[in-house]
Copies of this chain bind each other. A is one copy, B any other.
Amino acid sequence: MGPDQLARALRERSPLVQCLTNFVSMDLVANLLNAAGASPAMVHDPEEAAELAGLASAVVVNIGTPSPRWVEGMHAAAGAAHDRGIPWVLDPVAVGATAYRRSIVADLLPLQPTVIRGNASEILALATQAGAGRGVDATDDSEAVKGDAEALARQTGSVVVVSGAADVVTDGERTELVRGGDSRMPLISALGCASTALVAAACAIIDDPVEASVSAMALLARAGQAAGGTAVGPGSLRPAILDALWATGELA
């Protein structure tokens, strides 16, 4: 399914995407899902996370600003998604940076995320258990970790998406590259988190998570490219990407 078809399907079906996502990303994740036609629900507490996952079409678990109670909620929501057989997508933000993040991800992986979406350093840290990352910014080239991404996909059974100048999407056997976007996109905080949420929304529409991930990343890359044509810098690029995503669904 091409990005146009995905945009149209999101607009028509408006899948409910439950997001347990970090504080930095809350605003952009919600607005990007809305602009793309999906319906975001930020519901995180153990008091209700599993119940809401019972209504959702997909779940996002993003460990960007973790704390023990949020991690409880993540297990509740991801566990419910796993049990119901709906897609859930893991964003292992800065997993290489602290022991706490490594242990959170190690505990979540048995719940079998449909997709793991990270930048090159995060995927490398996961793949090698090396704890090499220093934060949320990509210190490695996405294509350079293609082999690691494939190994991680085979090891976990998850589709792995490495975002970067070229996005790598792989299930360990099939590997696809998505090119496009704008060079200033990495300067928009949490745009990676928002791409994770868009992948989750796409997984609610398209059964094959490789195809869903490719479609979602292509849709965002194209919106970024279109937005980059008029944007002055990263500040104006952000609303322009939302406008471009919305216009894709509008025209499709």
Contacts and interface: CB of A to CB of B under 8 A. Distances in A.
Interface of A: 14, 16, 22-24, 26-28, 30-31, 34-35, 39-45, 47-48, 51-52, 55, 64-69, 94, 97-101, 134-137, 184, 187-190, 231-236, 238-247, 250
26 contacts: A23-B23, A24-B26, A27-B190, A31-B187, A31-B188, A31-B235, A34-B189, A34-B234, A35-B187, A39-B135, A41-B136, A43-B94, A47-B66, A47-B67, A47-B68, A47-B98, A48-B66, A48-B98, A55-B134, A232-B243, A233-B247, A234-B242, A234-B246, A236-B240, A236-B242, A239-B239
Given A27-B28, A39-B137, A236 B239 contact: yes
Contact of A27 (B24, B34, B45, B236): B24
Contact of A35 (B47, B68, B234, B245): B234
A35 B235 contact: yes
Given A16-B135, A27-B190, A51-B99, 13 more contacts: A22-B42, A34-B188, A34-B189, A35-B187, A35-B233, A41-B97, A48-B97, A51-B97, A51-B98, A51-B100, A234-B246, A235-B241, A236-B242
